[in-house]
Amino acid sequence: MDRVGNSFTLAEAEVRNTQEFTLHVSQAETTNGNTSTFDASNNFEGLLVIDITAVTGTTPTANFYFETLDFLSGKYVAIPSAGTIAQQTGVNTLTVPVTNFGEKVRLRWVLGGTTPSFTFSAGFTAKS
């Protein structure tokens, strides 16, 4: 609280809500794929967490892309603030801060190598 002359002004409290999205439950993936689309329109920033718990195959690789649906073209496009998520080759936990992600979001993965298998979960905690 600040005192200004004979008056008092109250500092405004910032109230932020969070919304948690389970993008991908922990399970093995052996082919390219993507999650369903999630409505994150009530939010403006968040944290994407991808937890890779097992990897098999010969020289396996996984590339992850956090995408938004372009309302005009109907195509999914990479969310620039998610940056380039480094190619994964083993067990790892990734945390990716994301802003300006549009209304509809999803996670897409592309696997490489010979008979690759990645077991992972992915969650997105969004804030309004």
Report which residue type is found at 106: R
Q: List the chain pLDDT tens, one digit each, 128 residues.
A: 444 455 544 456 566 799 999 999 999 999 999 999 999 999 999 999 999 999 999 999 999 999 999 999 999 999 999 988 999 999 999 999 999 999 999 999 999 999 999 999 999 999 99
Q: For 100, left (φ over 0), alpha (ψ -120 to 50), or beta?
A: left
**Which of 41, 53, 44 has the alpha carbon at shortest distance from 88?**
53
How far apart, in whole angstroms, are the C-alpha atoms of residue 53 and residue 26?
A: 8
Q: Which two tokens stand for residue 109?
A: 């993965």
Q: Sketch the domain layout of the chain as residue ranges.
A: 16-127
- Topology (CATH level 3) of domain 16-127: Jelly Rolls (2.60.120)
Enter the pTM of the model. 0.86
